[in-house]
Amino acid sequence: MVYTGLLQQVMRLGFEWNTNDMSVMLLAKLARPLIGTARIVINNLYIKGDLRLLPILDGQAVLYSFESTPEVRIGVAFGSGGSQSLPATELPGVSSWLVKVFTDTLVRMMVEPRRGCYSLPTVDLRKKAVGGVLSVTVVSASKLGRNNGFSRETSTSSGNIMENGGNKILQTFIEVELGDLTRRTSISQGSSPKWNATFNMVLHGESGILKFNLYEWDPSSVKYNYLTSCEIKMKYVLDDTTTFWAIGPNFSVLAKQAEYCGKEVEMIVPFEETNVGELTVKLVLKEWQYSDDSTSLNKASSRTQNSVYNSQHIQLKTGRKLKVTVAEGRSLMAKDKSGRCDPYVKVQYGKLMHKTKTLSHTTNPVWNHRFDFDEIGGGECLMIKCYNADIFGDENIGSARVNLDGLVEGSCKDVWIPLEKVNSGELRLLIEALNNEDFEVSRTIVSQSGSGWVELVLIEARDLIAADLRGTSDPYVRVQYGNTKKRTKVVHKTLNPQWNQILEFPDTGKQLVLHVKDHNALLPTSSIGDCVVEYEWLPPNQTADKWIPLQGVKSGEIHVKVTRKVPELQKNTSLDTDISKTLSKANKISGQVRELLKKLHGLIEDGDYENLSLALSEVENIEDGQVEYMLQLEKEKTLLLDKIGELGREISRTSSTPSKMPY
């Protein structure tokens, strides 16, 4: 045991770890000209260094760190990453690159003066924290300079903030980071600025690092000047307390403990990279959420509310339905000089993705748009992404992950979710879990309404994977509904095809599956994704407009509209108009067949076999059109028979009613 100058007890240990009993596989994307993927397998790891152990909080925890950068060696092997992967011998320098990445991570996390924390709780409640909500108040800074006016001289060796004799008034703000979530204070003047800005931050996991970046704002400059930063680490302890620690003056330790959620902790943390300056912050851990769906009790408040923030992974369906309403937003990021924003929200849960309508010229939108999902157990999260619609490409203005575990059936959660990766913005969500009985009632009503059909509109797709060597695909969609199969036309040389085709199927309750394929004139077609269109819970004659992520591939979505049509509930239409449309469609199909026969005859005479294959695919499309036409005839027949039946009943009712004789 040795003692530092600050009377802190320290123990030093030699650390050496060498293991061959490991296998970590990384999938690496290769840049041009080496297009493809490669599997990098880490099969050996060696770390050697001197550890420094420092007890804190009266022995309730121990801080640990390497005294200097440790020696790191990594053993690497290569495996096959598919047909486009490169052989192992053509990937030089990977081992040294991995060593650098691993070493840099250790330096940022646990090389002196940065330290990790190992807790020694007096009681083990056997709870695993999976997320939390933290209130952060950036109070003030002090000692930024002896005078109010100073400028910054940047040195690559020290990075110190130096004072000069100018009269320029310092204007600064703090940017708070917690993972991908960032928030920014207002601008304050002077060497002892005061902000008193409070933010709600979302923590994913049982630990996190709060980083406070100090920036100088110069009205004459188009960019902000980074000055310095400091950080506070936090961790959940198994006795239901929370530990906060930071680097103190002269690399000493600042450590505090919150015995329960709701207790305020104040810390004065010196800025790093400078010899002067410190930041005062107040922290309140509002709640911890646990893996068993429970939440910690906030003893500082009589009101508790379940957290809905953290996420895990997909598991099995629970048999319940979730109603998620994107109600409104506030303080969203404006993306142009006028301060305007045209926001919309994408909501993804499991395999399903829905989108709200786009609202114009507002940073405080009100959507009140509701979406329904099958609940998935095991901690599946709700992914929220907010966009600003723009003619030159939509811009992401924030995202969030929402944990839906612990929802009580029949209760509705009303929560404001802060958006991550942006400086401001929150979304209000209403989340409710319901038993499937309500949806079964709706389904029964549809099935008893009479014979109907499913109308599927295949609109477009985007971000499909490239199936051809030239970096494009020739996509079409094969639709399978029970034993019935139909397909769209082929759109050549694109990853963002547009089909705009309507397919119809008798409503028998079968699963509706879409297979997106790449057409090939010579070789067998290859799959570039598939998905299931869920339509069973749609009310009669209501349309669902949705983007559905494709499964089994790394990217790709398909845009569809699906409607459950019920004839008895259709609006009365002119029978003459329906017959006219049917005859027009019949003439169109006949004309297409005649033109295609001429085209085939010409291609055979010219020996153009490549275009002949494409023409044959057009034959399949026309065949599908004929099937649709026959289905349309059946539909018209049903409507006509219904009208004849109604007319017969009306005649019978009129003839059976005795006429009144005048007196």
Q: Which residue has the tokens 């192992």?
A: 88
Calculate the average pLDDT of the chain.
76
pLDDT tops 90 at residue 394 = no
Compute the Cα dihedral for 619, 624, 625, 626 and give only its sign. Answer: positive
Residue with the larger pLDDT of the pair 299 and 326: 326
Residue 119 confidence class, pLDDT cut points 50, 70, 90: confident
pLDDT at 140: 94
pLDDT at 212: 94
pLDDT tops 60 at residue 251 = yes
pLDDT at 546: 87
Residue 386 confidence class, pLDDT cut points 50, 70, 90: very high
* Tens digit of each residue's pLDDT (9 = 90 or more) over 470-510: 788 889 999 998 888 888 888 888 999 998 888 888 887 78
Closest alpha carbon to 127 in 296, 267, 268: 296
Closest alpha carbon to 389 in 327, 336, 343: 343
Residue with the larger pLDDT of the pair 299 and 591: 591
Average pLDDT over residues 68-81: 76
Window from 182-196, 254-268, 640-654 with minimum mean pLDDT? 640-654
Residue 234 confidence class, pLDDT cut points 50, 70, 90: very high
Window from 153-157, 243-247, 255-259 with minimum mean pLDDT? 153-157
The structure's pTM equals 0.50
Residue 516 confidence class, pLDDT cut points 50, 70, 90: very high
Closest alpha carbon to 55 in 280, 261, 270, 243: 243
In whole angstroms, give the CA distance from residue 62 to residue 52.
10
Q: What share of the chain is helix, strand, coil (3-state, %, to 5)?
A: 20, 45, 40
Residue with the larger pLDDT of the pair 657 and 198: 198
Residue with the larger pLDDT of the pair 203 and 305: 203
Two structure tokens written together for 29? 């994307």
* Range picked from 93-107, 437-451, 587-601 for highest mean pLDDT: 93-107
Residue with the larger pLDDT of the pair 318 and 595: 595
In whole angstroms, give the CA distance from residue 364 to residue 9.
54
pLDDT tops 60 at residue 581 = no
In whole angstroms, give the CA distance from residue 559 to residue 552.
17
618: DSSP letter: H
Two structure tokens written together for 143? 């000692």
pLDDT at 572: 43
pLDDT at 369: 83
- Cα distances (angstroms) measured from residue 645 to each of 289, 447, 453, 641, 650: 62, 21, 21, 6, 9
The burial class, CB within 10 Å (0-12 / 13-18 / 19+), for 41 is: middle
Q: Which residue has the tokens 């007096």?
A: 122
Window from 15-19, 59-63, 253-257, 437-441 with minimum mean pLDDT? 437-441
Two structure tokens written together for 460? 């477009």
pLDDT tops 50 at residue 128 = yes
* Tens digit of each residue's pLDDT (9 = 90 or more) over 353-372: 888 888 888 888 888 888 88
Average pLDDT over residues 592-621: 64
Two structure tokens written together for 483? 């034993």
pLDDT tops 90 at residue 558 = yes
pLDDT tops 80 at residue 576 = no
Window from 124-128, 323-327, 592-596 with minimum mean pLDDT? 592-596
